[in-house]
Amino acid sequence: MIRFGKSSRGLAEIKNDFFENNAALLEDARAQAVTYRQQPRREACKNCDQSLRGTKFEQHLVEYVICERCEHLNGAYQDTDEFCEAIYVADGGESFAGSYREIDAAALEQRLSFVYRPKRDFLFDALREADYDPAQLKYSELGSGSGYFLKTLSEAGVEDFVGHEVAATQVEFAKSLVGEAHIRHHGLGDNLDIIADLTCEVLVMLGVLEHIQNPREILDAIRKNNNIKFLFLVVPTFSPSVYFEASFENIMPRVLTGGHTHLYTNRSLHWIAEEFELTRVAEWWFGTDIFDLFRSVGITLSSGDRKTELSSLWGEMFPDVIDDLQLVLDKRRLSSQAHILFSV
C-alpha cells in the first residue's frame, strides 16, 4: 500500500508559533547546535555502521556528512548521554515538550484531527490489508510523548495499548489523555530492556528513531522479539527542507536541528530493512517542504530592514499552490518525512 501527499490545510494554525516566535526558536536551535558540536566526533554512520565518509557540508555551524555507503545524513558529532540529557530530560523534559504538548482543548482537537488521526487511519488501513483487525491487536508506542497517538487508539476502541516516554512533563500530560494505566515513564537507557519485554504485536515509533542514541541496537532488539509482528515508523528525511534551511539562516530550522542529529533517505531506509529483515507493508510519503519554503520567504519578507509589501502578497498567492508543489516531491519520495509500516 503506497500513498503520496496530504493536505496542508490547517498546518499554518498548528505551526503558528514558528511564524510568531521565529527569533526565539532560532536562538534555541543555535544554542542546541553549540551544545551538539561540543560532543566527540562521530566515527561511524548512524545507520549502516561503516566508517563515516562522504560529502560534507555545514549548517548553523554544525558539520554534516552524507554516508557514501547508504546515503544516510549524519551529524559529525555523537549524541552523547550528556547531549541527550540536555535535550530531552533536563527540567523534566519541559523545554523539549513545549512544542508537542497542548493544554488548550481546541488546539488539542486540532492536533489530533490534523496530525494523529490520519496516522492511525493509515496504520489501520494497512493492517486491514494484511488481514488483521486493528482493534484486536496489542500496541506499544516507544517515545509516546504527550500521548496524542495513544489517544487516537483509545478513540478507535483499542483496549490493549501502552506508551513509554522519558520526558516526565509529557508523561503527566499523557496520563490526563489516556489514563495512568496506559503510560510508563522510563530512563534514557531503558529502551533495549523495554523492547525485549514487549508482548505487543504492533510497535509504534513516531518521530523517535532519529532521537535514539542506538538505533541499530533498537532495530536488532525488535527483530529478536518474536511477539512483534509490525513496526510503524515515522522518520524525518534528508529532503529539500534541509536546503531551504541552509539558504535561510535567519529562519528557525525544523528538520535538521536539535535532536535531529541524523536524517533518513529512501536508500538508508532500504538499507536497514535489508539488514534487520524488515519488509515494507505500506508507505506514505508527504512532507512540509513547500510549507517550509512559504514560511521562510514570508518571514524574511516581513522582517527588519527587508520588510516589504510583498510579504502580504506572498501570503495571499502561495498557499493555494503548496499542496500541488509538495505532491511532486512526495511522489519522488523526496518529502521531509516518511511513514512506513514494516512487517518484522
The pTM assigned to this predicted structure is: 0.90
Average pLDDT over residues 96-124: 81
Crossing angle between the packed helical segments 168-178 and 148-155, to the nearest 10 degrees: 10
Give residue 222's pLDDT band: very low, low, confident or very high (50, 70, 90).
Answer: very high
Average pLDDT over residues 207-217: 93
Give residue 200's pLDDT band: very low, low, confident or very high (50, 70, 90).
Answer: very high
Residue closest to 59 by CA, chosen among 33, 96, 27: 33
- At residue 42, φ and ψ (nearest 5 deg) are -80, 130
Query: Would you say the C-alpha torsion 83, 84, 88, 92 has a positive or negative sign?
Result: negative
Q: Which of 51-55, 105-109, 221-225 has the lowest mean pLDDT?
A: 105-109
Give residue 86's pLDDT band: very low, low, confident or very high (50, 70, 90).
Answer: confident
What is the chain's mean pLDDT, rounded?
Answer: 92
Average pLDDT over residues 298-310: 81
- Beta carbons of 76 and 62 less than 8 angstroms apart: yes
Question: The domain 2-343 belongs to what CATH superfamily?
Answer: Vaccinia Virus protein VP39 (3.40.50.150)
Average pLDDT over residues 101-114: 80
The predicted pLDDT at position 12 comes to 80
Reading the block at residue 319, the C-alpha cell is 498557499
pLDDT in tens, 247-287: 999 999 999 988 899 999 999 999 999 999 999 999 999 99
The predicted pLDDT at position 306 comes to 64
Reading the block at residue 36, the C-alpha cell is 551538539
Average pLDDT over residues 128-150: 96
The predicted pLDDT at position 2 comes to 96
The predicted pLDDT at position 93 comes to 45
Give residue 172's pLDDT band: very low, low, confident or very high (50, 70, 90).
Answer: very high
- The pLDDT > 90 percentage for the chain reads 80
- The pLDDT > 70 percentage for the chain reads 95
Residue closest to 257 by CA, chosen among 13, 26, 2, 71: 26
- SS3 at position 263: strand
pLDDT in tens, 6-48: 999 888 888 888 999 999 999 999 999 999 999 999 999 999 9
Alpha-carbon distance 331 to 285, whole Å? Answer: 7
Residue with cell 490534523: 114
The predicted pLDDT at position 91 comes to 55
User: Residue 323: is it exposed, middle or buried by C-beta count within 10 angstroms (0-12/13-18/19+)?
Assistant: middle
Average pLDDT over residues 238-250: 95
